[in-house]
Structure 1
């Protein structure tokens, strides 16, 4: 019977010190029988400057590297490379000290969930883990992340201050969507085509997810909009988001929070409204507590596209299952969407006709 040997996990070695190239210079001249005084005489530098280079107090300049080549026979590129590596390592050590002071920020980010989804590696070193999280967000520091996420002026980002404690979870969910959208092939954004596409997608509300998902993705991609689906992250009260990935490519990011088809479709058309009316630097995240003019306008757009205003007079009379189903069939949408609208308008209690809604769930691929 064969036995399996568990292979130990390997971790990259990151030294916590920086060796100045002057150390190598000193070893080189000593093997050649040259002392620092003689090196200074042969290179034309002062003894003090040579001492500073050897002790890492002064850098090896391009000029010095050439002079050292002439004296020692070691190519200038070697000295230049040693100096560059030394300066890089010093910078990394300084950055590591700064990261050490910001380790507490990791508690604000759903690190375990990001590891589970393969977005970041599972690292033992907390500083390396923090570095990977910052790279995931494409920022160089925690301060840069805070400025980008929490300052509305930075990304024209609109959110309620009531959800500030969920910033890390919301940002992680949105970033996962961005990563997927960035790789999605799309044509250049075409507003007219996108408006026409939305009419076609409205007819898909009566279809099963296995049928409507690939079709809506395809239709929107042709109009320059990447539709991506990102499962919910605990602690992020988000149903959808709209953002411009490039000036010619928009993203609509969706999940199935709430799980019912009426909420899903309303969220999609809500975000579509943001794409049509938002500027190229706007980021809109659909949060439960949001209530501002832009969100209300997007709500109105979604409501009117799903159930046009010419049908408003009929809605108060739709109080039975038969009436709802007939109405939905006549205007070409799923009856669950009609139920959601009637409940929102207080025509029906939230406990009525919920069996006409379809419950969605994630399927493992």
Structure 2
């Protein structure tokens, strides 16, 4: 008789459950079985114990800014547009001057640091309680991308009328309030609302163009096994293309569309009005490690979270989300790529090196970029193993998707 799982209170109990999880992972239990349910329960208990005993404190705003500077290779002079002058940059980073609301807004949009981190107050996600201001859509960029035409002369329809027609094509409900679709995720903010809705409109249009290539979706199609199979497609040189084809056969449409200026968007997950499941990817960071984590994160949203009127828009550089659905998507994506019990005991985690990365890559049959990316993120050192990340590989393999729907 299997002992009933309990909240972990001791290190010995933690190690015991860790060993049991390893054994269950090796057994690869069938989804829905008692063993599978116990595996999921133990995983949650282990994560809860780790969070309580090895908590990650919310970063100080200045620490968060300096961390993002290091990540992006920025110098103090690069922050002048957000602060106004060089002296203000120096004073803020040295703690002599507090952040102003204007600085916080600029940093949130420009560097992708959440307002929660900068001011200690959670942002309100997806609020749509103001009337639509069509003039705030990024019309110039929409014209440049060929989504709408440049207005020339009085007889031509105005830019704002074209924007309205562009959005109306996808059948979203519009009324006195702004858009009725509920938006969640770290990429959404009031500042970028109109740019994100324009991007979403384009993604849905491209998804409808691809619909003849998409299989019929079944509610039972996605599972932890699906995530594992997707992760192992990363082992192949054409892995991103194989993953897209795999998902399309299962009824999930994958669309590529670069993000619009000012947005910090990696991916999105939604259901179209006809029920088609859609994943939108920006390839904002054209690296294999980012692609695979973003794809699996969005697949979890499709599997577990997307409803009739829900859309998830994700900035996966952000780590301050309080949304349990985002936390679950992160956890399941991480577990599918590199199971926790394997990671904690691997040399790649304990003593990172190219040799250790190669060994774990072969053991799990996943691309080395995924392992290198996890090491970089956990250590907060984005200069490590840059040569292993597969820069430019995603756009190369998925070039056929990038060129679809271009005017």
TM-score (norm. length: structure 2): 0.56
Residues paired across the two proteins, number: 255
Could you say which residue in structure 1 is the equivalent of 2:268? 241
- CA distance in 2 between counterparts of 1:161 and 1:267 reads 13
The RMSD of aligned alpha carbons is 3.0
Q: Deviations over 1:123-142 (max 9, x none)?
A: 225862211101111189xx
Q: Deviations over 1:215-259 (max 9, x none)?
A: 322221221110111122211210000000146420000021122
Contact 2:228 2:337 in 1 (8 A): no
Contact 2:132 2:178 in 1 (8 A): no
Quote how far apart the aligned CAs of 1:278 are.
1.3
Task: Structure 1 unaligned segments of length 5 or more: list them.
Answer: 1-101
Contact 2:216 2:251 in 1 (8 A): yes
Contact 1:243 1:251 in 2 (8 A): yes
Q: Does 1:307 align with 2:307?
A: no
Could you say which residue in structure 1 is the equivalent of 2:36? none
Could you say which residue in structure 1 is the equivalent of 2:376? 343
Quote how far apart the aligned CAs of 1:306 are.
0.6
Could you say which residue in structure 1 is the equivalent of 2:67? none
Distance 1:103 1:338, change over 3 A: closer
* Structure in which a larger fraction of residues adopt helix: 1
Could you say which residue in structure 2 is the equivalent of 1:353? 385
Find 1:132's aligned residue among 147, 162, 176.
162
Distance 1:251 1:338, change over 3 A: same
Which structure: larger Rg? Answer: 1
SS at structure 2 position matched to 1:206: coil
Could you say which residue in structure 2 is the equivalent of 1:169? 195
- CA distance in 2 between counterparts of 1:322 and 1:161 reads 36
Contact 1:336 1:358 in 2 (8 A): yes
Contact 1:197 1:223 in 2 (8 A): no
- CA distance in 1 between counterparts of 2:338 and 2:327 reads 16
- CA distance in 2 between counterparts of 1:300 and 1:147 reads 35
- CA distance in 2 between counterparts of 1:225 and 1:145 reads 30
TM-score (norm. length: structure 1): 0.62
Quote how far apart the aligned CAs of 1:321 are.
1.1
Could you say which residue in structure 1 is the equivalent of 2:294? 267
Quote how far apart the aligned CAs of 1:172 are.
1.7
Higher relative contact order (CA 8 A, sep 6+): 2
Question: Equivalences for 1:1-365 in 2 at 5 Å?
Answer: 105-106=134-135, 108-124=136-152, 125=154, 128-138=158-168, 144=174, 147-149=177-179, 154-159=180-185, 163-184=189-210, 185=212, 186-195=214-223, 196-208=225-237, 211-246=238-273, 248-281=275-308, 282-287=310-315, 288-289=317-318, 291=321, 292-315=323-346, 316-346=349-379, 349-360=381-392, 362=395, 363=399, 365=403
